Amino acid sequence: MSKDLKFVLNGNRMEMAIEEHWTLLHLLREELGLTGTKEGCGSGECGACTVIVDGLAVNSCLYLAVELEGKDVLTIEGLASADGTLHPLQKSFVEHGGIQCGFCSPGMILSSKALLDENPRPTDEEIQHALAGNLCRCTGYVPIFESVKAVIQKDSEDIGVVVREAGSSSDS
Amino acid sequence: MEEFTAVGKRVPKVDAVSKATGRAQYIQDVKLPGMLYGKILYSKYPHARIVKIDTEKAKRLPGVRVVLTGEDIPPIRMGVYKDNPPLKAGKVRSYRDEVAAVAAIDPEIAEKAIDLIEVTYEALPAVFDPEEAMGPDAPLVHEDHKTNILKMPWSLHYGDVDAAKSEAAFSVEDRFTTTWVTHCCMGTSGAIADFDHANNLTVYTNTQIPSLAQKDFLETLKALGLKNNRVRVIKPYIGGGFGSKLDTYAYEHVAILLAWHARRPVKIMFGREEEFVATSTRQPTIIHISMGCDKEGKLLYRDMSMVLDNGAYTSWGVTTPSVMMMPITSLYRVPNVRYVAKCVYTNNTYSQAMRGYGNPQATFAIESAIDMLAEAAGIDRMEFRRINCNQPGDLTPQGFRITTCGLPECIEAVSEKLHLERPKEPGVGTGVASLIHVGGGARIYKSDGCGTIIKMDDYGNANVFTGASDMGQGADTILAQIVAEQLGIRVDNVNVIHQDTDVCPWDVGAHASRTTFVAGNSALGAAAKIRKRLLELAAQALEAHVDDMVLREGAAFVKGSPAVKVPISKLLRNAHFTPNGEMMMADYFYDPANENMGRDFRGNMSATYSFGTHGVRVRVDEATGKVEILDYVAAHDVGRAINPLLLDGQVYGGVLMGVGYALTEQVILDKGRNMNPDFRDYKILTAKDSIPLTPVVIETIDEAGPYGAKGIGEPGCVPTAPAIANAIYDAVGVRIKDLPITPERVLAAIKKKKGIDSCGIDPLTEKEQPCE
């Protein structure tokens, strides 16, 4: 059964017909060609397909597209500014070795963003908890934690401006 | 002290921005116009005759373009032993055997068609235990092979082990086992095969061996009657390798066969369950070790035998004993060594290469036994390791020439950083283990070489075409740094191209931690040629002597006078746009001066060797058997850290993979069937399981390495399991000899030690035991 859907994707208003059985992952990758969201398992175990819906990190492989009605979706393609300036988290992952093969990176970065939007000063344990659903086989996670923590430190030096400004695209 | 501008710097990976923004294209993301989707039907039995395959219903399904069985394809044999056809005919030998394949216009139709194929099997007796498989009455996995024991006699004996045994003041002897684990690359496997109008083939695939894959695919073309056609291998971004992509797999050859019959490109993409079931594992081992020393603690002999479960077919797993020989003969000084290994066919999944390539299994037994022997001899475990430590200038019994060797420094670094002198707390213990690994390539193929072509543009940029394969570890970044350093340009001005066999030179593959060393030396050689010519041009332009010229920050100047400089881009344009002009290009093929092993397995396999020592402090909960890692120090002799950021990444990632190997990871096969093909039940470590890890870098500046570097891709995961097992023993006095070291195993051992009766399944032996 097809259905009309209205939602916001990376700041753009979308109106389109979808099939009811489509997952958000299918909608993004196969119908819209946004392949930055990765499929690592298709069953919510690895977090590679993480996107942010109304401020919450979700596994898009488990999220039905019909549930998106009226909601706001942020994928990795919408994270950098329109002029190409990287989001501080993207920049920090690049600089601190948080990326090796890169397959988990879009999901890992978006889970980190959802955490910092909710909790701008997370403890080490809170970071580990927030990223526990995003598997990485390359980095041993330590450089990923360093990437996230560097943004927090920078943020506290700049009195919160960096993270919040760049986070405005999800607008929730 | 040399002053570098690119080498030794924490340069971010050159592809990291592309990956951080979701732009990087993996095989998952590649679509070709008109592309069909392939699916594979696997066996329902671990060992059975295929009586009949009925494909009619599948062929009639709208949208299906091709259906193939083993009867429809020409003879193609994969693997080092050439015993594995991409689609099986006659019989199946494991659950992962491919019996039929379909190409359809979308993945759902292909899946439906697979379900419509009816296969009639006649079950055969099967064998799942390699020791049973060696027995005279065991079912034969390959009848024409006459025996389940592979005819690859891994056997060496240096010195006189029996005489040394009689002289030894102290000896230990024991049995260790390791089980199946798998790579768990976050990006699953996949390939696209595409024939052009002239029947030349392009394969887009996840591979660590583009040049050898090209050779394998050429053989498949030949089998199809295409003798004079070309194969191009294109490697998109790879979502993790770790050895898994060191051979070609059935799915790649099946994609080629389907594409050939469909006359359209065909993509086969694995889901996660298929990735767990149908890709290869690390090889499980049953290890017997005995080792002895004199009364001063000097090792006198090491005597080891192994049985390896080869599974139903033969990939690189069968050759891992060649690498196991390295720690067996050469980790610590040991004059008398004997080793024999048998690889045995079973109806289990077949094994392949995985980070460390046999070294983690062998080192688990060796380093556990080192602690046991030190205890038997009454010598402190660190002192015992110092007494027997490898030293620069050593020639090991296998003929390895140890050039630089930072093992003494690694042992001291672990002692110090882990504070081994601290008083012992109850339930808390420390353990250490060392490693040796190839650090200067490994000559296991006819060539251990790598080619590089460098082409300068008119603007001061270098395009570097390398044979090296990046799979996320950062090979492209390391090569960019080396070329930038040679040419005095910025890393940003170096573009490394490593994705395409049509434009990149040959390389044997990303294995044996060889890329930084071999591809690095190759890039260095090509860049040195360009450098030489640039210096000549600069000397002319500045009317100075060539020996006084310096290349730095994109310009040339006379030593001591950086103010008067000429941009490299200008030198290039002046040379290019002039009568009888020249384009600045260079090529270089580097093949290290290492040796193939002889018939007695002697030979200097690597141009240099990497060393390391790991130390760990654990707390063991005696009520639950749970092991908690409190502190971990990993010291590695890396030659030179070309990029400390990426180096740390290899160590962090390798160690955590090693901790998983030690504590949690296990492919559970029940009579050949994979019982845990998902991340819920196959436990790779998560962010919550990360450990406090201190990497220590020991630089020994090896003169054979590019800027002194050695390989470091694999060592991180080699000594982890024995370090942890030794720490558990130190903490609670139980020695666990089987991996993974689950809480059940630890608890059972603690109970046994305390004399507490237990009944039910004994986790140590996995056999039922009566209630006492």
- Asked whether the beta carbons of residue B23 and residue A134 sit closer than 8 angstroms, the reply is no
CA distance B713 to chain A (A): 11
Res B768: pLDDT: 64
How far apart CA A148 and CA A152 sit, in angstroms, is: 7
Of B653, B680, B686, the CB nearest to A100: B653
Of A43, A93, A142, the CB nearest to B678: A43
Q: Compute how many other C-beta atoms are within 10 angstroms of the C-beta atom of residue B354.
A: 27
Give the residue on B whose Cα is nearest the Cα of A108: B20
CA distance B584 to chain A (A): 32
CA distance A22 to chain B (A): 13
Render pLDDT for B120-148 as a digit per residue (tens, 0 to 9).
999 999 999 999 999 999 999 999 999 99
- Asked whether the beta carbons of residue B687 and residue A99 sit closer than 8 angstroms, the reply is no
Res B763: pLDDT: 58
Render pLDDT for B538-550 as a digit per residue (tens, 0 to 9).
999 999 999 999 9
Render pLDDT for A42-71 as a digit per residue (tens, 0 to 9).
999 999 999 999 999 999 999 999 999 999
- Asked whether the beta carbons of residue A138 and residue B472 sit closer than 8 angstroms, the reply is yes
**DSSP code for B587:** E
pLDDT higher at B619 or B152: B619
- Asked whether the beta carbons of residue B649 and residue A145 sit closer than 8 angstroms, the reply is no
How far apart CA B174 and CA B365 sit, in angstroms, is: 9
Using pLDDT thresholds of 50, 70 and 90, give the confidence band for residue B760.
low
Render pLDDT for A94-129 as a digit per residue (tens, 0 to 9).
999 999 999 999 999 999 999 999 999 999 999 999
For residue B106, list chain A residues with Cβ-Cβ distance below 8 A: none
Render pLDDT for B332-344 as a digit per residue (tens, 0 to 9).
999 999 999 999 9
Give the residue on A whose Cα is nearest the Cα of B242: A138
- Asked whether the beta carbons of residue A135 and residue B684 sit closer than 8 angstroms, the reply is yes
CB environment B263-293: b (16+ within 10 A), e (fewer): ebbbbbbbbbebbbbbbbbbbbbbbebbbbb
Using pLDDT thresholds of 50, 70 and 90, give the confidence band for residue B16.
very high
Q: Is B205 helix (H, G, I), strand (E, B) or coil?
A: strand
Q: In this prediction, what percent of chain B has a pLDDT beyond 70?
A: 98
How far apart CA B748 and CA B734 sit, in angstroms, is: 10
Asked whether residue B765 carries a pLDDT value surpassing 90, the answer given is no
Res B772: pLDDT: 44
For residue A133, list chain B residues with Cβ-Cβ distance below 8 A: 686
Q: Cα-flanking dihedrals φ and ψ of residue B230, to 5°?
A: -105, 155
Res A157: pLDDT: 61
Which residues in B60-199 belong to E strands, given as ranges? 64-69, 91-92, 98-104, 118-123, 154-158, 170-178, 190-195
Summary mean pLDDT of chain B: 96
For residue B303, the cross-strand partners are: B290, B338
Distances in Å between the alpha carbon of B765 and those of B257, B385, B471? 45, 31, 38
- Asked whether the beta carbons of residue B688 and residue A76 sit closer than 8 angstroms, the reply is no
- In degrees to the nearest 10, what's the CA dihedral of B65, B69, B70, B73? -20
Give the residue on B whose Cα is nearest the Cα of A105: B20
Res A172: pLDDT: 33
Q: Is B570 helix (H, G, I), strand (E, B) or coil?
A: helix
Res B341: pLDDT: 98
Please identify among residues 184-203 of chain B the ones whose CB lies closer than 8 Å to any CB of chain A: 184-188
Asked whether residue B588 carries a pLDDT value surpassing 60, the answer given is yes
Which residue out of A19, A43, A142, A149 would a mutagenesis test of the B interface target, given it has the greatest number of B Cβ atoms within 10 Å?
Answer: A142
Give the residue on B whose Cα is nearest the Cα of A110: B20
B111 touches chain A (CB under 8 A): no
What type of residue is B172? V
- Asked whether the beta carbons of residue A94 and residue B472 sit closer than 8 angstroms, the reply is no
B646 touches chain A (CB under 8 A): yes
Render pLDDT for B265-302 as a digit per residue (tens, 0 to 9).
999 999 999 999 999 999 999 999 999 999 999 999 99
Res A1: pLDDT: 82
Give the residue on A whose Cα is nearest the Cα of B186: A40
Q: In this prediction, what percent of chain B has a pLDDT beyond 90?
A: 96
Q: Compute how many other C-beta atoms are within 10 angstroms of the C-beta atom of residue B505.
A: 20
Number of alpha helices (DSSP H) and beta strands (DSSP E) in chain B: 18, 30
Give the residue on A whose Cα is nearest the Cα of B713: A138
Give the residue on B whose Cα is nearest the Cα of A131: B687
Answer yes or no: are the C-beta atoms of B404 and B440 closer than 8 Å.
no
Give every strand in the sheet of B693-698, ordered side by side.
Answer: B428-438, B609-620, B627-637, B693-698
Render pLDDT for B161-204 as a digit per residue (tens, 0 to 9).
999 999 999 999 999 999 999 999 999 999 999 999 999 999 99
Number of CB pairs < 8 Å for A and B? Answer: 171
What type of residue is A50? T
- Asked whether the beta carbons of residue A102 and residue B20 sit closer than 8 angstroms, the reply is yes
Q: Compute how many other C-beta atoms are within 10 angstroms of the C-beta atom of residue B412.
A: 16
Average pLDDT for B70-98: 97
pTM across the whole model: 0.96
Of A46, A131, A141, the CB nearest to B679: A46
Of A91, A109, A137, the CB nearest to B185: A137
Average pLDDT for B740-751: 97
Answer yes or no: are the C-beta atoms of B352 and B246 closer than 8 Å.
yes
B687 touches chain A (CB under 8 A): yes
Q: What is the ipTM of this complex?
A: 0.96
Which residue reads 């006095």 in tokens?
Answer: B733
- Asked whether the beta carbons of residue B471 and residue A80 sit closer than 8 angstroms, the reply is no
Average pLDDT for B234-260: 97
Give the residue on A whose Cα is nearest the Cα of B22: A36
How far apart CA A72 and CA A52 sit, in angstroms, is: 8
Average pLDDT for B651-669: 98
How far apart CA B17 and CA B9 sit, in angstroms, is: 18
Res B770: pLDDT: 58
How far apart CA A29 and CA B29 sit, in angstroms, is: 8
- Asked whether the beta carbons of residue B648 and residue A97 sit closer than 8 angstroms, the reply is yes
DSSP labels, B291-335: EEE-TT--EEEEEEEEEEEEESS-SGGGGHHHHHHHHHHHSS--S
